[in-house]
């Protein structure tokens, strides 16, 4: 009885869910990927599927394990939660749709496992990606001080060059926009 309570305490204190999550099957994930993802992301995950040349921005290249939308530090791999959020909800501003209502939870987990096979960076399982921890938001998010600090940060990073004064790219530098390219050399903005 005491051993059972101790085991339960260890599970709760370890931060892992008490409910066992189903395993991930890369073989099943490959079938899901080939049916629903390869047309955009390509057979090898390089972002070069048959539809890729018609998309701006281009589909993600999984082979380099570079992900923009994640909760981990720059240069780190995304967490499984980051992966699932992108698969479930899609990526606004891209052709990536949300799959939560189209695929089962098992199919989405399996395809995530299969996508990880495209890059050797995921092979090292000794270090699990961890999400960054942020403090609480300062008071009112729209206070004059918060807006002033945010504006200084926006200005110091020269965000205005691409995103414009109001962050909507409507006032960006038109002469710069057609030259903005991703790491593979593909245009990010349609001229």
User: Which domains are seen in the chain, by residue range?
Assistant: 23-122 (1.10.760.10), 144-178 (no CATH)
Q: Write out the two tokens for 93.
A: 């501003």
| 72-129 pLDDT, tens digit each | 988 889 999 999 999 999 998 899 999 999 999 999 999 999 999 999 999 888 878 9
Q: 27-45 pLDDT, tens per residue? A: 999 999 999 999 999 999 9
- pLDDT at residue 17 is higher than 60: no
pTM of the model: 0.67
Q: Residues 49-63: pLDDT tens digits? A: 999 999 988 999 999
Tokens 């890729």 label which residue?
52
- Residues 80, 99: Cα–Cα separation, whole Å: 15
Share of the chain above pLDDT 70, in %: 73
According to the model, what pLDDT value does residue 140 have? 54
User: How many residues can be counted in the chain?
Assistant: 191
Q: What angle do CA 101, 105, 111 make, to 5 degrees?
A: 100
Query: Going by C-beta distance under 8 Å and a sequence separation of 6 or more, which residues neighbour residue 42?
Result: 48, 49, 52, 59
Q: Enter the tokens of residue 110.
A: 């399996």
Among residues 20, 21, 22, 46, which one has the least CA distance to residue 33?
Answer: 46
Give the confidence band of 169 by pLDDT, cuts at 50, 70, 90: low
Mean pLDDT score across all residues of the chain: 79
């Amino acid at each position: 009885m005491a051993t059972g309570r101790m085991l339960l305490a260890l599970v709760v204190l370890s931060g892992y869910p008490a409910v066992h999550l189903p395993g991930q099957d890369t073989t099943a994930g490959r079938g899901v990927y080939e049916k629903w993802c390869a047309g955009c992301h390509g057979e090898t995950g390089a972002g070069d599927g048959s539809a890729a040349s018609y998309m701006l921005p281009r589909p993600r290249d999984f082979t380099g394990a570079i992900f923009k939308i994640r909760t981990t530090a720059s240069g780190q791999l995304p967490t499984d939660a980051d992966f699932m959020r992108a698969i479930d909800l899609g990526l606004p501003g891209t052709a990536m749709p949300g799959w939560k209502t189209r695929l089962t939870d098992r199919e989405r987990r399996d395809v995530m496992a299969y996508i990880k096979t495209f890059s050797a960076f995921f092979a090292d399982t000794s270090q699990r990606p961890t999400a960054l921890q942020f403090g609480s938001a300062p008071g009112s998010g729209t206070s004059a001080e918060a807006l002033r600090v945010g504006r200084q940060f926006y200005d110091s990073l020269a965000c205005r060059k691409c995103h414009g004064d109001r962050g909507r790219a409507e006032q960006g530098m038109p002469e710069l926009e057609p030259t903005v390219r991703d790491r593979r050399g593909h245009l990010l903005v349609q001229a």
